[in-house]
Structure 1
Amino acid sequence: MVIGAERGGGHRSRIDGGRRSGHGNGDARRIAELEREVRELRRANEMLKVYFAQELDLDLSPASAAVGTGPGDRDGPEIAPVTPPMAADAVRWDPAPPYAPRTPRPMAEFRALGPIEAVVGGRLVDLGAPKQRALLAVLISKVGQPVAVDVIVEELWTGNPPPSAITSLQAYVANLRRVLEPGRAPRTPATVLRTFGRGYLLDNRVVEVDVHRFGERATAGWRALDRGEPRQALREFEAGLTLWRGQAYAEVADTAYVRPEAARLEELRLSVIEGRCAALLAVGAHEMAVAELEAFTQAHPLREYGCELLSLALYRSGRQAEALAVLRTNQKRLAEELGIDPRPALQHLENEILNHAPALDWRPVPGGGI
Structure 2
Amino acid sequence: MTTERPPALFFRILGPTQVERDGATLGIGGRVSRRMLAGLIAAAGQPVSDDAMAEHIWEHPPARVVETLRVIAWRLREALGPDGRMLLPRTESGYALLLRPGMTDGDLFGERVARGIAQLHNGDPAAAATTFEAALALWRGEPWADLGGSLQLMGPRHALAELFEAASEELLAARLADGDTATVIAAARTAVAAGPYRERRWELLALALYRGGRQAEALAELRRARQLLVRDIGVEPGPALRSLERRILAHDPGLLAPSVRERLYA
Report 1:351-366 matches (<5 A).
Answer: 351-364=246-259
Tell whether 2:92 aligns with 1:192.
no
| Alpha-carbon distance in 2 for matches of 1:262, 1:253 | 11
Tell whether 2:35 aligns with 1:134.
yes
Over 3 Å counting, the alpha-carbon distance change for 1:122 and 1:277 in structure 2 is closer
Tell whether 2:21 aligns with 1:120.
yes
Structure 1 stretches (4+) deviating beyond 3 angstroms? none
Q: Which residue of 1 aligns with 2:153?
A: 258
Q: Which residue of 2 aligns with 1:201?
A: 96
8 Å CA contact 1:234–1:279 kept in 2: the answer is yes
SS in 1 for 2:235: coil
SS in 2 for 1:202: coil
TM-score (norm 1): 0.64
Over 3 Å counting, the alpha-carbon distance change for 1:178 and 1:216 in structure 2 is same
| Alpha-carbon distance in 2 for matches of 1:314, 1:230 | 19
Q: Which residue of 2 aligns with 1:219?
A: 114
Deviations 1:195-229 (A, max 9, x none): 12221121214982111111111111111222222
User: How far apart are residue 301 of structure 1 and its match?
Assistant: 0.8
- Cα-Cα RMSD: 2.4
8 Å CA contact 1:148–1:200 kept in 2: the answer is yes
8 Å CA contact 2:102–2:108 kept in 1: the answer is no
Percentage identity across paired residues of the two chains: 38
| Alpha-carbon distance in 2 for matches of 1:229, 1:273 | 17
| Alpha-carbon distance in 2 for matches of 1:156, 1:261 | 19
Paired residues, number: 256
Q: Which residue of 2 aligns with 1:85?
A: none
8 Å CA contact 1:146–1:196 kept in 2: the answer is yes
| Alpha-carbon distance in 2 for matches of 1:169, 1:337 | 49
Q: Which residue of 2 aligns with 1:163?
A: 63
Report 1:1-370 matches (<5 A).
Answer: 106=7, 108-120=9-21, 122-158=23-59, 161-181=61-81, 183=82, 190-205=85-100, 208-364=103-259
Task: Could you tell me which runs of 5 or more consecutive residues in structure 2 were left unpaired when the two chains were aligned.
Answer: 1-5, 262-266
Task: Could you tell me which runs of 5 or more consecutive residues in structure 1 were left unpaired when the two chains were aligned.
Answer: 1-104
TM-score (norm 2): 0.87
SS in 2 for 1:163: coil
8 Å CA contact 2:8–2:23 kept in 1: the answer is no
8 Å CA contact 1:315–1:353 kept in 2: the answer is yes
User: How far apart are residue 179 of structure 1 and its match?
Assistant: 0.9
Larger RCO, structures 1/2 (Cα 8 Å, 6+ apart): 2
| Alpha-carbon distance in 1 for matches of 2:7, 2:88 | 13
The amino acid across from 1:176 in the alignment is L
Q: Which residue of 2 aligns with 1:7?
A: none
User: How far apart are residue 303 of structure 1 and its match?
Assistant: 0.5
